[in-house]
Amino acid sequence: MKKAILSLLILCAAIVPNVSFAKGAPLFFQTGDELFEIEGAPQLEEGYSVGYACQHVGLFGADIWTWDCEIMAVNVEEFSAGNLDPEFKAEMEEKFSLSDRSRNPWNHYGVFGMALLLIGGAAVKLRSK
């Protein structure tokens, strides 16, 4: 059973697309800024589009919690964000909500999968005693 859990953790770490790196070592726990594009939002100049810039805490690339989200001009490829004109920002806030963010399924629901694995592993261990 331990080998199966270890194999599953290694598999999850291998397929997570946005694991952070610091000096070449993967960091499985992430905090800080995260940028989200909004599908169907206006494209701005130089690769920027309307999106959300948030603070987040994540584990293996899955968000545990996001907060302090603000609609901004974002460029996900360059990981940069800029302010929008106040009138345009107010218009975009009316048109797009935080739930319109483009997120991959792992980023959005991965924490639930990890919790189920943890609970399932604990249940199997308790049942085997």
The fraction of the chain above a pLDDT of 90, given in percent, is 36
Domain count, the chain: 1
Is 69 within the bounds of a domain?
yes
Q: What pLDDT is stored for residue 11 in this prediction? A: 62
Helix (H) or strand (E) holding 28: none
Assess if residue 35 is contained within a domain: yes
Predicted confidence band of residue 95 (pLDDT cuts 50, 70, 90): very high
Decide if 129 is inside a domain.
no
The confidence score (pLDDT) of residue 91 equals: 94
Rounded distance, CA 98 to CA 104, Å? Answer: 15
Residue 90 lies in a domain: yes
Query: What global pTM score does this model have?
Result: 0.71
Residue 103: other Cβ atoms inside 10 A? 14
* 9-25: burial string, b at 16+ Cβ within 10 Å, e else: eeebeeebeeeeeeeee
* Domain extent for 92: 2-121
Phi, psi of 57 (to 5 degrees): -125, 130
- How many C-beta neighbours within 10 Å does residue 73 have? 24
Q: Is the pLDDT of residue 38 over 50?
A: yes
Query: By mean pLDDT, which of 2-11, 67-76, 78-87, 105-114 is the weakest?
Result: 2-11
